[in-house]
A and B are shown apart, each in its own frame.
Chain A
Amino acid sequence: MILHHFPGGIHPHDEKELTAHLPIEDAPIPSRVFIPLSQHIGPPAEPIVKPGDPVRVGDKIAEARGFVSANIHASVTGTVRAIRPYPHASGRLAPAIEIESEGEDQVYVPTKDRQDPLSLPPQTLIPFIREAGIVGMGGATFPTHVKLSPPEDKSIHTLIINGVECEPYLTADHRLMLEHTRDIIEGIMYIRYILNASFSFVAIEINKPDAIRMMQNNISDPHIRVISLPKRYPQGAEKQLIKTILGQEVPSGGGLPMDVGAVVQNVGTTFAIYEAIRWGKPLIERITTVTGRGIKTPKNLRVRIGTPVRDIIALCGGWKEVPGKLILGGPMMGINQYDDAVPVTKGTSGVLLLPREEVGEYHPHTCVRCGRCVTVCPMGLLPNFLGVFSEHARFADAERLHLLDCIECGSCTYVCPAKRPLVQMIRYAKGEVLRRRKKVARQ
């Protein structure tokens, strides 16, 4: 198959050798979990329990508010202790449901056993996904049921399963593909059936040859193709993936993959969809990679949603060296944390601990006009100008240069020799543009 090419991209060292060979371990049940009400794009869920209520693992504890929102379920059996503001991965305090767990044996018992979901009408499968509170688990946390319900006028011909995992350090998706191959393939069948897509691709980066082989050997359906992609960051970004496989660009200015007839789902999400449809299991746990040279024993862990990162770090032997940075997610797009009390959420693909010596101190200076950021931008934008416009509050100019198309992958900041925090500038400008729009709309 001829692959297309998205512009730009970078080649950071992938650092996956720390955890790529480690099988997924089940983390013990934490004594307390803090489950944030906002773990997805869209309005936060509405709690339906109150302090003092007993809950069992898998019980729904918060209801989605509106269509673009997701249900939240108890990840442990125990008692609701409080619903209060708690540190959130975003860096601010956000309301969370605190559950004190009891006992050790809290295995989730499947409530359903749907032997052949493909015999049901496709539309009836979406409520199962919606009920399970599944969101995009690659990190964007967009509610999955919304993605799988395209409007009538958009027909989906291609389903792309994203096993690229281009973020350095992370191996959660890699291990999942190796250890749950058949389940993922089953999940692909379900999604394909819901969307009525004719073509399905499983995209995996070439640095995971074992996963590619595993997938190829287990797929018998000729309509599902496994494709190995060259190693390049951000190959796993939705728009770049579509461009590489279909050769088509998602339209600028708020275009969605469905505009070119494609839907992209992460392998983690696919696995969650399989579990939700087949066994009725809600999203109460996820695979996360605990890695970096700051942790004593890196691991791939299956953790309950709401487990404080502090517990996970302790489980992996604690900090090996002087702490430098604690990042939730990968080093490129992950969010830096100042408090290790933050809980794991549905979108936490990794817990990255960097020792002090690996963390540089930067003193940004003016743009030297080398144009490297322009060369590497996978969206074909001009980060140099966007940065300068942001600095000088010229947001209308920035918008004209398609500011809002930036996917915040961090490639420009990675290569900038002047050490300019370009992504931060762009993100700030985006916020300002949206704020101004709201202001105008109010008037």
Chain B
Amino acid sequence: MLPELISLTGIGFIASIGLGIAAKRLAIKEDPRIEKILEALPGANCGACGYAGCSAFARAVLAEEAPVDGCLAGGVSTGLKVAEVLGKKVEKTERMVAVVACQGTGTYTRQRFIYQGIDNCRAAVNIGGGSKACAYGCLGLGSCQQVCPFGAITIKDALAVIDTEACVGCGICVDECPRDIIHLVPRKVSVQVLCSSQETGKNVRDFCDIGCIGCKRCEQACPFNAITVKNNLAVIDPGKCTACGICVDVCPQQTLKALLPITRQAEIDPGKCISCGKCKRVCPFEAIFGSKGAPYEILTGKCRGCGLCINQCEADAITMTEVL
């Protein structure tokens, strides 16, 4: 019993000394910052940055091959953390979100033929251009869903639906979509055209109940000239759009939708108001009430935060506030 115990302990002791020396002498020196960068990264290994995973990205950042804010999944906050580790500065970038420019579910859009094959849009599109009657619409077989590392995409009734909360705007789905109908837009209140069809209105009506027919009502209704109809499809200029939602109301096809619920409201400072009434005249929503002689007031619930009144006010009495 005893000799065995001694010999085993001895072997263990010698081996541990050997290992100890080896660990010291053969150690690969790794930059301690890699560990820190890895801590800052989300660790999803999604590959959206273009590298094989988070640790490959961390190495690339250290080697100055990748930008510090290259992690799309982590967004701005991660970029700031990584920059902090390296002592660099990062230009603040907007958080993006993916939008599917199609609402053609199985209920709204007709099928041309019965598709029997693999559930993959890129494969299906090679067979007669896909079974959906619209040559521009979502095929709904879930190629984007399969590649989304964050589970932000679901297929509901043959249409890809993006969860704006879960989406980090990495853009992997944008590359995957064979129809090129997924777009990255800044994650803020805005109106989106949820159709990609460039067919004439008559043809769209033949195969889809909810597509843009190019009727130009939105173009005429927009007080900011932010909408133009090009190739039978409404296009919104994000620089001009104030997300007032007038176009959403007039669209007969319900093609235009607000990306996030409208949360802005105008507020009139009664102390500054000179009671000129210009704001009331310009408001497209009848959200301002009052009469000359007293400060005007905003009707909460009616105001959509378009900002038209701000431009009209000579006394700088109107400000925009975020309502949650």
Contact = CB atoms under 8 A, between A and B. Distances in A.
A369 to B, nearest CB: 19
Interface residues of B, number: 15
B128 A338 contact: yes
Interface stretch (B116-124, B210-218, B271-279): B116-124
B120 A428 contact: yes
A336 B128 contact: yes
Interface stretch (A153-161, A225-233, A244-252, A419-427): A419-427
Contacts of B116: 361-362, 421
A431 interface: yes
B117 A431 contact: no
B199 to A, nearest CB: 11
B231 to A, nearest CB: 13
A424 B112 contact: no
Nearest to A89: B128
A393 B118 CA distance: 13
B contact face: mostly helix, strand, loop, or mixed = loop
Contacts of A358: none
B299 to A, nearest CB: 51
A91 B118 contact: no
B122 A431 contact: yes
Given A338-B112, A425-B118, A92 B129 contact: yes
Contacts of A53: none
B135 interface: yes
Contacts of B5: none
Nearest to A337: B128
Nearest to B111: A338
Interface in A278-305: none
A421 B113 CA distance: 17
B127 interface: yes
Contacts of A338: 112-113, 128
A432 interface: yes
B129 A424 contact: no
A391 B112 contact: no
B128 A91 contact: yes
Contacts of A391: 118
Contacts of B113: 338
A337 B135 CA distance: 15
A91 B126 contact: yes
B227 to A, nearest CB: 27
Interface centre among A339, A362, A428 (most CB of B within 10 A): A428
9 contacts: A92-B129, A336-B128, A337-B128, A362-B116, A421-B117, A424-B118, A427-B126, A431-B122, A431-B126
Top 6 A-B residue pairs of the complex, sorted by shortest distance between their CB atoms: A91-B128, A428-B123, A338-B113, A92-B129, A91-B129, A338-B128
Given A92-B129, A391-B118, A427-B123, 16 more contacts: A91-B128, A91-B129, A338-B128, A390-B118, A393-B146, A393-B147, A421-B118, A424-B118, A424-B123, A425-B118, A425-B123, A427-B126, A428-B120, A428-B122, A428-B126, A431-B123
